[in-house]
C-alpha cells in the first residue's frame, strides 16, 4: 500500500499506545539494572521458640527461653551475599565475628522487605496470587527479589542485621 497523508493519523494512533507500553516497561525495569548494594546481611530461617536471637553492641547474641512449645523447625543462621544473591548457612560462632547494624536501612539506603498479597485491579478475574514467602531488596526506586532460604511459611524469615565490617 502506498504511503499517503491519509494514513498518518492511523499510524500515529497505533504508535502512541506502543510507545507508551515501551516507556512504562523501561521505566519499571531500568532502575533495577543499576542497583549496586554493597552490604551483606544475616537472617534466620525457622521458628524455634526456645532461642531468641538479638543484636547488642553490634554483635549477635542469643538467649535460651524456657517454653512448653517444641521447635517445629530448627532455626538456622544464614549469611546472604548481596552481590551473588546467594545464602550460606553459618554457625552462631561464625555469626558473632561480624559487626552488625540492626536498623531497617543499610548504610547505602537499601532495605529488606517481605512480599505481600496482591489482588490486582479486578480481584475476581485476574487474581495474581501472593508472595508472602518472597523477600526483596528495595531501595533507590527499585526492587530485586532475593534468593532466600525460608522454611516455606510466612514466619520462616527473620532479618538480623547488615554486616558492617
How does the average pLDDT of the chain come out, rounded? 83
Domain count, the chain: 1
pLDDT of residue 149: 76
Residue 13 placed within a domain: no
Residue 26 placed within a domain: no
pLDDT tens-digit map of 15-66: 999 999 999 988 877 877 788 899 999 999 887 677 889 999 999 999 988 8
**DSSP readout, 58-127?**
TEEEEEE---SSPPSS--EEEEEETTTTEEEEE-HHHHTTS-EE-SSB-TTS-EEEE--B---SSTTT--
Residue 106 placed within a domain: yes
Predicted TM-score of the model (pTM): 0.76
Residue 101 placed within a domain: yes
Domain that holds residue 73: 33-163
Looking only at the bridges linking them, the beta strands covering 76-81 and 86-90 are: antiparallel
Residue 17 placed within a domain: no
pLDDT tens-digit map of 80-92: 999 999 999 999 9
pLDDT of residue 27: 82
pLDDT of residue 141: 81
Residue 97 placed within a domain: yes
Distance of alpha carbon 155 from alpha carbon 158, whole angstroms: 7
Residue 81 placed within a domain: yes
Distance of alpha carbon 11 from alpha carbon 108, whole angstroms: 46
Amino acid at each position: 500500500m502506498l504511503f499517503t497523508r491519509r494514513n498518518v493519523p492511523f499510524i500515529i494512533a497505533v504508535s502512541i499506545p506502543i510507545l507508551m507500553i515501551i516507556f512504562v516497561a523501561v521505566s519499571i525495569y531500568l532502575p533495577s539494572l543499576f542497583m549496586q548494594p554493597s552490604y551483606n546481611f544475616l537472617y534466620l530461617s525457622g521458628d524455634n521458640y526456645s532461642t531468641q536471637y538479638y543484636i547488642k553492641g553490634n554483635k549477635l547474641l542469643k538467649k535460651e527461653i524456657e517454653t512448653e512449645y517444641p521447635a517445629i523447625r530448627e532455626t538456622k543462621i544464614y549469611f546472604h551475599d548481596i552481590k551473588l544473591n546467594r545464602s550460606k548457612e553459618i554457625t552462631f560462632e561464625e555469626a558473632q565475628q561480624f559487626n552488625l547494624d540492626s536498623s531497617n536501612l543499610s548504610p547505602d539506603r537499601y532495605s529488606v522487605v517481605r512480599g505481600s498479597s496482591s489482588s490486582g485491579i479486578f480481584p475476581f478475574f485476574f487474581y495474581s496470587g501472593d508472595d508472602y514467602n518472597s523477600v526483596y531488596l528495595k531501595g533507590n526506586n527499585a526492587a530485586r527479589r532475593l534468593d532466600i532460604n525460608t522454611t516455606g511459611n510466612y514466619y520462616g524469615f527473620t532479618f538480623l542485621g547488615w554486616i558492617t565490617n
